[in-house]
Amino acid sequence: MPPSLRPARAAVVRALTLLVAVTGAASARAQERPYFVTYDHHLGERGEFETAVSSTTGFPRAGGSTYTAPWLEIEYGVTNWWTSEVYLEGVGIAHDGSAYTGWRWENRVRPWGTDHRVIPVLYLEYEHLTEASRIQKEIVGSGGLSFEPLADLRAEAAHELEAKLILSTMAGGWNVAENVIFEKNLSKDEGVEFGYAVAVSHALHGGLDAPPCRLCRGAFALGVEAYGGAGSTLDFGFHDTSQYLAPVVSWQLYNHSAVKASVGFGLTDTSDHALLRVAYVFEFER
């Protein structure tokens, strides 16, 4: 690993070690959704805390340096229909150093419960990020990442507002989810940028509440998600946009913790060659 990526990797390892150390002290529920970009209808229960340590490692095409972008998520179930979440993120770029890149405050509301064939969720997020942000929790608009020096990217910060319409359907152990994304940069006049994410996954335990063991097939969920930008109000469409197709997997270690991973393959010249994502998720007892 390049020396400039080691601080970011070390931060992820330290946080992961801390979370693993406390896994014996709590219990919770539910198999973790395997997606990294696509959201489904699942929210935290009232009074429930969830935290996750995740990272995105990008392998750009010619002209870009490999990077690793770790982030920390802290989620709280305000009610059974409203979940709020805070993100803290950073980046390490090969031969260019590492930096803190900003924070996000996310809110998801499920207005009509889960007793519908198609379950809608409304999403609103405020972001204060620099141009060095690389976690790519969503992809909107057109164009690719900027590969200017990290010092220049850190100097440019933006306030952004993001909204999503999330639609999710369950059938046995299957989930199908669709997200429509709208993002407005409040610091620049760039119009409203659009993006999307769609996914399907299957819980191998067939939709039952908890997997019977850690190493049998029932502890896993498999799926695939596709996501990318769709231009903006100034230039709508898929020309010069980043598009990815990503197989995903989650492994339920205990009832209260899970590991998930995906490899996103870039489908356009604007996309990176690949995005490797990994996460450790832990739910605290209410």
Q: What is the model's pLDDT at position 63?
A: 76
Can you give the residue range of the structural domain that contains 156? 3-283
Does residue 204 contact residue 217 with C-beta atoms inside 8 Å? yes
> Both tokens of residue 68?
């690793």
How far is it, in rounded angstroms, from Cα 202 to Cα 247?
A: 12
Q: What is the model's pLDDT at position 256?
A: 86
Q: What would the pLDDT profile of 143-159 be if each residue is shown by its tens digit?
A: 999 999 999 999 999 99
The CATH number assigned to the domain holding 36 equals 2.40.160.40
Residues 6+ positions from 17 with CB-CB distance below 8 Å: none
- The domain tally of the chain equals 1
Closest CA to 270 of 233, 232, 239: 239
How far is it, in rounded angstroms, from Cα 239 to Cα 44?
A: 37
Check pLDDT > 80 for residue 255: no
Tell me the average pLDDT across 30-35. Answer: 76
Check pLDDT > 70 for residue 100: yes
Tell me the average pLDDT across 241-267. Answer: 94
Q: What would the pLDDT profile of 173-218 be if each residue is shown by its tens digit?
A: 899 999 999 999 998 888 999 999 999 999 987 554 555 577 788 8
Q: What is the DSSP letter of 240?
A: T
Q: What is the mean pLDDT of the chain?
A: 88
